[in-house]
């Protein structure tokens, strides 16, 4: 199904370590490995998942984040992640530490762009001051058609991505607005 979507023109695939957990990244990686250069892959970090596969809290500590990225790269069968989102803001970890760690991962070539999911204006701006935030993913539903205004994100220079995205151009970069 994932490969079929790519054959029909979908160029952005969004997953997360927490989906399954881990299972969805493996499925996406397997399906997209042969066509990886023609698509964008986004994944998310930020949960503490125990040995039983249960989400037991949040974790965006720098050391944990690096381990999550290495594991995601293996499951996704790729050498880089196009967009790495913080799935949920961790209230006990300074946003500057999270953004700084992602900045290092970008410098290492493991991540291309930094995104935030369900973040406040303050968190977005604090992160963006350390590492440009390329994409903001916000809750958006057909049942609740009142997403937060993209104004705060624009104030920090970031893009805004409601929950559903589609590429209108055959270029994967068009999905990111680059």
Q: What domains does the chain contain, in order, with CATH numbers?
A: 2-164 (3.20.20.100)
Instruction: Give the model's confidence band at 120: pLDDT under 50 very low, under 70 low, under 90 confident, else very high.
Output: confident
User: Is 22 a catalytic site residue?
Assistant: no
pLDDT tens column, 131-150: 999 998 876 556 555 555 55
pTM score, whole prediction: 0.82
| pLDDT over threshold 90, residue 161 | no
Instruction: Give the model's confidence band at 170: pLDDT under 50 very low, under 70 low, under 90 confident, else very high.
Output: very low
Per-residue tokens: 122: 């303050």
**Within a 10 A sphere around the Cβ of 101, how many other Cβ atoms?**
24
Q: What is the 3-state secondary structure (H, E, C) of 32-66?
A: HHHHHHHCEEEEEECEEECCCCCEEEECCCHHHHH
pLDDT tens column, 99-108: 999 999 999 9
Cα–Cα distance, 42 to 114 (Å, whole number) = 10
**Looking at 19, 22, 85, 140, which residue is catalytic?**
19
């Amino acid at each position: 199904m994932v490969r079929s979507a790519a054959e029909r023109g979908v160029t952005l695939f969004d997953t997360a370590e927490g989906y399954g957990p881990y299972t969805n990244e493996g499925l996406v990686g397997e399906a997209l490995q042969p066509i990886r250069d023609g698509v964008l892959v986004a994944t998310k970090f930020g949960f503490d998942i125990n040995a039983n596969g249960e989400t037991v809290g949040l974790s965006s500590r720098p050391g944990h984040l690096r381990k999550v990225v290495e594991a995601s790269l293996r499951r996704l069968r790729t050498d880089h992640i196009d967009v790495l989102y913080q799935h949920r803001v961790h209230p006990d970890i300074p946003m500057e530490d999270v953004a700084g760690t992602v900045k290092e991962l970008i410098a290492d070539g493991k991540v291309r762009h930094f995104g935030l999911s369900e973040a406040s204006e303050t968190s977005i701006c604090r992160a963006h001051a350390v590492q440009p935030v390329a994409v903001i993913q916000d809750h958006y539903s057909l049942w609740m058609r009142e997403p937060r205004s993209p104004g705060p994100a624009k104030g920090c220079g970031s893009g805004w991505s409601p929950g559903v995205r589609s590429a209108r151009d055959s270029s994967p970069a068009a999905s990111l607005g680059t």
